[in-house]
């Protein structure tokens, strides 16, 4: 299956984890608690990345690198930006309804971080995206990275968010179909666009028969 987004499903924002932090029920308290929680979790991501590098585990480096960049760099930065940009009255209000942690953090932290990670996967002549898919024989890494960078350049954050949410279930359904020799699951428009781009650039072999 495509590994470009699989690791990041572990990064989905959940208010459940915040229950362990000693915070008040305001939006500001929730956001500050989230930053604190990430700070406690990040050493294990750093250790996992260091371990993958020590073992020269390319796949592990891609996965743990994604996790570290998203959870230890992007998420804290976006959370702090919300704390600076949102009105004080809103931060001091109860985190409920439209002002709940999830309602604010998903569009303000999760989706833009997914988009940042997604586009970053294809930067440079050597890119993590090349190592995250099954490449067609004869495809050069530089050509693939450049091709995919162009393919995803105009993807809006909202579509990237849909891709990250839909890829996991689709991969599970596709694996089950291959195992049981049943028809492949239908692709959503976002999945179809992404997989078509992979194929056009010389990747996406994991989605073929």
Residue 61 domain boundaries = 6-207
* Helix (H) or strand (E) segment spanning residue 191: helix 189-201
- 43 assigned to some structural domain: yes
- 1 assigned to some structural domain: no
Domain count, the chain: 1
Q: Is 94 helix (H, G, I), strand (E, B) or coil?
A: strand
What is the predicted pLDDT for the residue at 62?
83
pLDDT, tens digit, 9 for 90 and up, residues 35-72: 999 999 899 989 998 998 999 888 788 888 888 999 99
Q: Is the pTM of this model over 0.95?
A: no
Tell me: pLDDT of 156 over 90.
yes
Spatial distance between the Cα atoms of 119 and 60, rounded to a whole number of angstroms: 20
- 171 assigned to some structural domain: yes
What is the predicted pLDDT for the residue at 3?
53
pLDDT, tens digit, 9 for 90 and up, residues 97-141: 999 999 999 999 999 999 999 999 999 999 989 988 999 999 999
The answer to whether 84 and 65 have CB atoms below 8 angstroms apart is: no
């Amino acid at each position: 299956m495509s590994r470009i987004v699989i690791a990041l499903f572990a990064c989905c924002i959940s208010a459940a984890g915040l229950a362990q932090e000693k915070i008040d029920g305001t939006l500001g308290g929730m956001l500050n608690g989230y930053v604190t929680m990430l700070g406690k979790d990040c050493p294990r991501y750093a250790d996992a990345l260091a371990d993958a590098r020590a073992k020269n585990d390319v796949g592990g480096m891609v996965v743990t690198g994604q996790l570290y960049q998203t959870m230890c760099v992007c998420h804290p930065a976006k959370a702090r930006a919300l704390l600076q940009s949102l009105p004080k009255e809103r931060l001091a209000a109860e985190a409920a309804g439209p002002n709940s942690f999830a309602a604010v953090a998903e569009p303000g932290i999760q989706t833009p971080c997914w988009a940042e990670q997604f586009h970053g996967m294809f930067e440079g002549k050597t890119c993590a995206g090349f190592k995250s898919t099954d490449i067609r024989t004869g495809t050069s890494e530089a050509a693939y990275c450049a091709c995919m960078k162009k393919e995803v350049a105009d993807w809006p954050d909202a579509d990237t968010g849909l891709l990250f949410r839909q890829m996991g279930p689709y991969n599970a359904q596709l694996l089950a179909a291959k195992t049981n020799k049943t028809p492949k699951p239908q692709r959503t428009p976002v999945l179809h666009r992404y997989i078509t781009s992979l194929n056009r650039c010389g990747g996406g072999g994991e989605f073929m028969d």
